[in-house]
Amino acid sequence: MSTLNIVNKSPFEKRTLEQCLKRIGEGDSVLLIEDATISAVNGTAYANLLLEASKQSRLYVLQPDLQARGFAEKPLLDPVEAVDYAGFVDLVVKHERVHSWL
Amino acid sequence: MMEDEEYQGGEVKKFLYVNRRLPHGTVYALESLETVLIGAAFDQDVSMLFIDDGVYQLKKDQAPESIEFKNFSKTYRALEMYDVEKLFVERESLEERGLSEDDLLVDVEVIASKEVKALIDQNDVVLSF
Amino acid sequence: MKLAVLINEGPYQHQASDSAYQFVTAALAAGHEVMRVFFYHDGVNNGTRLTTPPQDDRHIQRRWSALADEHKLDLVLCVAACQRRGLVDEGEMKRNSKDAHNIADGFRISGLGQLVEAGIEADRLVTFGD
C-alpha cells in the first residue's frame, strides 16, 4: 500500500479533508482522527466527497475519537471502516509512509 | 540553528517537506525550514513541496520587520548552498491565490495538482508541520 | 517494526499529545519498537514537570514519564523550541544562566537532528499536531 494519509480537522472548519483527497489516488488510504471523525458519519454535506474518494482509496475512522464525540451508535458511510488504536498501528505498518495533513 | 550537527549513520533517505501554511501567523513555516536545514546537514535527499497556503512562504517582498519578526524568507534563497535544490510548487495553489511564478523569491519547479501524488510516492519520509 | 513519533502541540490545548500517547501505547502492546518520541513546536510543553492538572483529569506529562520508565522510551524535546518557550534542563540552566530548570523525568533536550535521525532510522514516522 502506498501512503496512509491522516486527517484530523472537521471539514466544516478547515479545508484539510478536501485538500488531502484531491491529491491522493490508487493505493492510498485516509484515516480520519480527532475532529475529522465526524465526517465519517452518514448524512453530512461531505458524504459525497468521501464516497467519491472511496472509489480509489480506502477510508478509515478512529472509533474512540468518534465515540468521544457522541457518534458511536450512528451509522457510518458505507465505505468507511472503523478502527481502534491497534488498527491505527496496523495501518501505519501496512503502508509505505504516513502523511499527516496538519 | 544547530548547523554543527552531523549524522554518522551513512544511510540516505528521501525526505519530503510539505508546506501548507502561511508564514508569520504561526511558527510552523520557520520551524519547518529549520528542520529542512538540519536534514540537509545530515546529507539526506531533501525535497520541499509548497501547496495550499504554503505557496505564500515563497512570496517575494516579505518585510516582517514591520511586526518585529525575523525575515527568514531570505533563507529559502540560501537553500541551494545546503544542496536543497528540489523545490516544488503546485500550479493550482498559485492560481487559486492569484499568484504566478513571478511572485516567488526563488526558482521552483511548478507541478500540477495531479502530479503531487507521484512526488509523494517517490519519498520515504513525509514531514508536514 | 521500528516506529518514531513526532508531536507538534502542547498538552491539553490540542488532542495531539493524547492521540500520540494512545498510538504509542497500542504500538508497544502490539510488540513494535518505538525508537523515539520527538517533541517540536509547542509540543515541548509536554515535558515540563510543573503542570498540575485537576485531580480528576489525566496527567499528560506524568503519563509520558511513566511510559518512558516502563518501556525505556526516548522522549526528546527540541532544544531550539525549548529555548523559545522556557523549557530548561540543568545543562541549559547553566549554559543560559537561568535560575531554575523544569524538565520532567524521562525527557531529555537535544537538537533537531534527533528528529531527522528518527526519520532515517525508523521504518515509519507518524506526526501528531494541529
Task: Inform me whether the C-beta atom of residue C1 falls under 8 Å from chain B C-beta atoms.
Answer: no
Task: Inform me whether the C-beta atom of residue A68 falls under 8 Å from chain C C-beta atoms.
Answer: no
Write out pLDDT tens, residues B50-93. 999 999 999 999 999 999 999 999 999 999 999 999 999 999 99
Cβ(B79)–Cβ(B85) under 8 Å?
Answer: yes
Q: Where are the domains of chain A?
A: 3-101
Question: What percent of chain C lies above the pLDDT cut of 70?
Answer: 100
pLDDT-derived band of residue B1, with 50, 70 and 90 as boundaries?
very low
Alpha carbon of A31: minimum distance to chain C alpha carbons (Å): 12
First vs last C-alpha separation in chain A: 22
Sheet containing strand A80-83, edge to edge, reads A80-83, A58-62, A29-32, A3-7, A97-101
Beta bridge partners of A41: A76
Q: Any idea which residue has 525505556 for its cell?
A: C72
What sign does the CA torsion over A73, A77, A83, A89 have?
Answer: negative
Write out pLDDT tens, residues B30-41. 989 999 998 889
How far is the C-alpha of C87 from the C-alpha of C102, rounded, in Å? 6
Complex ipTM > 0.95: yes
Task: Inform me whether the C-beta atom of residue A98 falls under 8 Å from chain B C-beta atoms.
Answer: yes
Task: Inform me whether the C-beta atom of residue B15 falls under 8 Å from chain C C-beta atoms.
Answer: yes
pLDDT at B2 over 80: no
pLDDT at B5: 62
Cβ(B125)–Cβ(B13) under 8 Å?
Answer: yes
Residue C98 sits in a domain of what CATH number? 3.40.1260.10
The DSSP annotation for A24-49 comes to --TT-EEEE-GGGGGGGBTTSTTHHH
Which residues numbered 85-104 in C keep a CB inside 8 Å of some CB on B?
none
Alpha carbon A40 to its chain's center? 7
Task: Inform me whether the C-beta atom of residue A19 falls under 8 Å from chain B C-beta atoms.
Answer: yes
Residues A3-101, CATH architecture: 3-Layer(aba) Sandwich (3.40)
Cβ(C22)–Cβ(A85) under 8 Å?
Answer: yes
Q: Is residue B39 part of a domain?
A: yes
Residues of B contacting chain A (CB within 8 angstroms): 18, 20, 28, 51-52, 113, 116-117, 120-121, 123-126, 128-129
> How many CB pairs (< 8 A) connect A and C?
47
Question: What percent of chain C lies above the pLDDT cut of 90?
Answer: 100
pLDDT at A51 over 80: yes
How far is the C-alpha of C98 from the C-alpha of C86, rounded, in Å? 10
Chain mean pLDDT for chain A: 97
pLDDT at B10: 82
Are B121 and A23 in contact (CB < 8 Å)?
A: no
Question: What percent of chain A lies above the pLDDT cut of 90?
Answer: 97
Q: Is residue B50 part of a domain?
A: yes
Residue B58 sits in a domain of what CATH number? 3.40.1260.10
pLDDT at C76: 98
Q: Which of B92, B107, B20 is nearest to B57 (CA)?
A: B20
Cβ(B116)–Cβ(B92) under 8 Å?
Answer: no
Task: Inform me whether the C-beta atom of residue A86 falls under 8 Å from chain C C-beta atoms.
Answer: yes
Q: Which residues of C touch B17 (CB under 8 A)?
A: none
First vs last C-alpha separation in chain B: 18
User: Using CB atoms, which chains have 3+ pairs under 8 A with A?
Assistant: B, C
Q: Which residues of A touch C8 (CB under 8 A)?
A: 102
Are B126 and A101 in contact (CB < 8 Å)?
A: no
User: Residue B62 corresponds to which cell in the numbers above?
Assistant: 516579505
Alpha carbon A48 to its chain's center? 14
The DSSP annotation for B94-123 comes to HHHTT--GGGBSS--EEE-GGGHHHHHHT-
Q: Is residue B3 part of a domain?
A: no
Domain that holds residue B119: 14-128
User: Using CB atoms, which chains have 3+ pairs under 8 A with C?
Assistant: A, B
pLDDT at B39: 84
Domain that holds residue C94: 2-128
pLDDT at B3: 45
Q: Which residues of C touch A86 (CB under 8 A)?
A: 26, 29-30
Of A84, A97, A102, which is closest to C130 when you measure between CB atoms? A102
Question: What percent of chain B lies above the pLDDT cut of 70?
Answer: 95
Chain mean pLDDT for chain C: 97
Are C32 and A89 in contact (CB < 8 Å)?
A: yes
In chain C, where does DSSP find H-type helix? 16-29, 60-71, 79-85, 90-95, 113-121
Q: Is residue B65 part of a domain?
A: yes
Residue A22: which residues within 8 A CB-CB, separation 6 or more? B113
pLDDT at C84 over 60: yes
Beta bridge partners of B126: B16
Span B1-18, mean pLDDT? 77
Which residue of A9, A67, A92 is the best one to mutate when testing the C interface, meaning the one whose CB has the most C CBs within 10 A?
A92
Cβ(A25)–Cβ(A5) under 8 Å?
Answer: no
Based on the structure, what is the number of domains in chain C? 1
DSSP C104: P
